[in-house]
Amino acid sequence: MPLFLLPNRLLPLPSSPLINCHASPAALRSSPSSPPPTLPILLNSTSSVPSLSCALQCPHFQSCSGCSHELNLHRPIIVDEADHFFKTLGVSDFDFESCRLWGWRSRAKLAVRGSSMKPLIGLYEEGTHNVVDIPHCKAHHPNINAAVELLRQGITKLNIEPFDEDEGTGELRYVQMALTTYNTSIPASERYKNGKVQVSLVWNSRNENSHNFEKLNALANFLWRNGGPRSDLRFIHSVWANFQTSTNNIIFGNRWRHLLGESGFWEHVGGIDMSLAPSSFGQANTRAFDILLRKLQKYVPYGASVTDLYAGAGAIGLSLAATRKCRSVKCVEVNKESKLSFEKTVERLPNHVDSSISWHHADASDEPLSWLMGSEVVVVDPPRKGLDASLLDALRNISSLERKAKSSPESSDSKVKDEKRPWVLRSLKDSVQIGSKPTLEDSGSLPQTLIYISCGWESFKEDCMTLLSSKKWRLQKAHGFNFFPGTQSIEVLAVFKRGEAASLKKKKSGKKKKRLGRKHPSI
């Protein structure tokens, strides 16, 4: 059994399950017959499944806002609603990937409050700014829980003052724990349980020149000494500092500093090695995201031209470039922090990738037609609120916009004028072009396929009905994924096709005329 180093003694780490649900239907419908057991901190566990296989059984459930239901983690109630919704739209084979049910969260942002002698590291209680301590979270990968426990000990030992929101005082405001399973030195089957944690400490100061920077360094060294590669446990990947003094609810400030460990953070998803900076958006459920990417790839034709909107660091677009040998891939993202991760990822793309690849720092809602032009497939992965109104409007009116674009090609004067617009200039300045520039032969065409990835079910339903009401799009396929077990939230992958409904009507109309012609030769 592994040992966890306390300031004054060694404490053994018990273990807990890290497996999927295989309970019988009867067991899944039953309720707990006894109080759920307390989840201990665990590291590198291979123990057996709990008796109530698909129940959360988390000691923090009543107070923590992270999870909303305890039973049937494998199939939240909202899946039935989604299945019915898609059936009414003609998609009768909606399926749902349950994915991992416990220990699935590989990225967690946690508030640090309380006192140095009794730190609280966790989430806000529902509707308040009171932090709930969650040392035994069932959603967290066990090594994240172990890293939280090590941080707690460091805070107490070094007398680090947690942040006080009312007074604006204290030293440690938040912590981000991000897990990487990218370790090619061990068998693939063992990489997840041996994942290493990147710790990002959000420090209440402007920069590293602050008077309490030595305490930050001491805390980083404590984490590295007791969890780094020379420790007995070796589960800390690296330590970063972020400096934040804002009075608002934004977690991260603009200034970052790498303190200890590896500077590069990698994950293998969708067939590519993906780089993620601490400031970049990363999926909380890496394994489920990989399953979604593999499914998505099947709907993109080989050699297609693709636009990836709300692209982040380009995981979706770059995975398509590698696996579908796309002719061109445009990634559009409003967060400029993602640019560096994109560039590092491109450097590790397989040698066979021969695409025109570009990343643009731009808002997809600013004249979205310009981003859609010349692409056969557009992939959208918007935030929970759904598509921006201007993009949704462009997609809804896509046929008329295409006719207009083809009949009225831009003159050289208008192109010069466009390039003087502020958002165009910013995009050009911050863009990254890899490989040859895309050809202009299809510049007047617009996507025939729309792939919508949604993390907000209610907003997706509204966007879906708006698209279908235009009669220009038809819903071809839909899949669901259990990205957040313990919540009523599902990730949806929906595939829309353009023009097929109209062609089907023409075919039916043609058959009808033929039948009429046989009966009535005069027609």
Q: Which residues are annotated as a binding site?
A: 283, 310, 333, 381
Contact 110, 122 (CB under 8 A): yes
Contacts of residue 521, defined as CB under 8 A and 6 or more positions apart, other chains included, come to none
Q: What is the CA radius of gyration of the chain?
A: 26
Structure tokens at 269: 């998803």
- Sheet of 196-203, strand order: 131-133, 119-124, 107-114, 172-180, 196-203, 236-243, 255-261
207 residue type, one letter: N
98 touches 20 (CB < 8 A)? yes
Total number of residues shown for the chain: 523
Give the whole-angstrom CA distance, residue 278 versus residue 126.
26
Residues 342 and 159: their CA atoms lie apart, in Å, by: 39
455 is catalytic: yes
Q: Which long-range contacts (CB under 8 A, 24 or more apart) does 462-467 make?
A: 462/386, 463/386, 463/387, 463/392, 464/89, 464/494, 466/392, 466/396, 467/392, 467/395, 467/396, 467/496
226 vs 154: CA distance, rounded Å: 10
Q: Which among 64, 67, 326, 455 is annotated as catalytic?
A: 455
Phi and psi, residue 370, nearest 5°: -65, -30
Distance CA 144, CA 386 (A): 30
Helices 457-469 and 78-88: crossing angle in degrees, nearest 10, is 0
Within 10 Å of residue 504's Cβ, how many Cβ atoms? 11
Binding residues for S-adenosyl-L-methionine: 283, 310, 333, 381
Q: Are 482 and 488 in contact (CB under 8 A)?
A: no
Amino acid identity at 265 = F
Closest of 148, 131, 130 to residue 139, by C-alpha:
148
Alpha helices in 89-212 (DSSP H): 142-157
CB distance 332 to 307 below 8 Å:
yes
Give the SS3 label for residue 223. Answer: helix
Residues 6+ apart with CB under 8 A from 336: 361, 430
Q: How far apart are CA 384 and CA 41, in angstroms?
A: 32
Distance CA 419, CA 428 (A): 9
Which residue is it, tokens 């949806």? 492
Residue 7: exposed, middle, or buried by beta-carbon count in 10 A (0-12, 13-18, 19+)?
Answer: exposed
Q: Where in the sequence numbering do the catalytic residues fall?
A: 455
